């Protein structure tokens, strides 16, 4: 992957907005928050704030990942949602296309992760010093060369799904950090945040939002 940052110019994809929360679909290739330096200033929260100036960050998606993201529209909502993410009370579902054919139909990867300092932002499995990371997975459709899977992260570590799939021997297609050879030769990372469930900050009602995978 080249270092040139050329985010897509897709119009803002508003899935839901009310007095407390805003749900948007993030395109692949766009940072969630600004990077270091003016060339990395264009990001989802900046675009959101041009329409919803009061929007506040709650969580992030990797630059290369697309899909559902929630922003808070009040400080109360930001605290409320932040705690739900921290206490792992939110439920996230991702769709991915991975290299190769998964033999099993379902499984769980329980491998602790730590930043690979010399190669950051890459992460790696470290059984002694890593932070707990758990991902459930389920095959949607298996071909000979690739498998479509749903991923259910139980923790929210950086690059968790990408490293866990790599650890299974099935890197996510198009992954600029972890895929090699033909598996890397795709126009984007084949990872999409399909569904997000959380409790509404005003009253605690369960909410569920879905964004269809574009691949």
Q: Is 136 a catalytic residue?
A: no
Active-site residue, from 10, 62, 110, 185: 62
**Secondary structure of the chain in the HEC alphabet?**
CCCCCCCCCCCCEEEEECCCEEEEEECCCCECCCCCCHHHCCEHHHHHHHHCCCCECCCCCCCCCEEEEEEECCHHHHHHHHHHHHCCCCEEEEEEEEECCCCCCEEEEECCEEECHHHCCCEEECCCCCECCEEEEEEEEECCCEEEEEEEECCCCCCHHHHHHHHCCCCECCCCCCCCHHHHCCCCCCEEEEEEEEECCCCCCEEEEECCCCC
| Active centre residues (catalytic) | 62
């Amino acid at each position: 992957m080249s270092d040139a940052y050329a985010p897509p110019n897709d119009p803002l994809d508003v899935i839901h907005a009310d007095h407390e929360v805003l749900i948007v679909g993030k395109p692949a290739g766009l940072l969630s928050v600004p990077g270091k330096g003016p060339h990395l200033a264009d990001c989802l929260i900046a675009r959101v704030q041009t329409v919803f100036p009061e929007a506040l960050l709650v969580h992030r998606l990797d630059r290369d990942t697309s899909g559902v993201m929630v922003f808070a529209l009040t400080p109360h909502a930001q605290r409320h949602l932040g705690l739900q993410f921290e206490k792992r009370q939110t439920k996230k579902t991702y769709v991915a296309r991975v290299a190769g054919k998964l033999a099993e139909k379902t499984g769980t990867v329980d491998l602790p992760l730590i930043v690979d300092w010399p190669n950051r932002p890459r992460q790696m499995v470290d059984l002694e010093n890593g932070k707990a990371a758990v991902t459930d997975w389920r095959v949607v459709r298996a071909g000979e060369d690739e498998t479509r899977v749903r991923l259910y992260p139980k923790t929210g570590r950086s690059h968790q799904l990408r490293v866990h799939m790599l650890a299974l021997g099935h890197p996510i297609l198009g992954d600029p950090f972890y895929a090699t050879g033909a598996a890397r030769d795709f126009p984007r990372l084949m990872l999409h945040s399909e569904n997000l469930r959380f409790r509404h900050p005003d009253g605690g009602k369960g909410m569920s939002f879905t964004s269809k995978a574009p691949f």
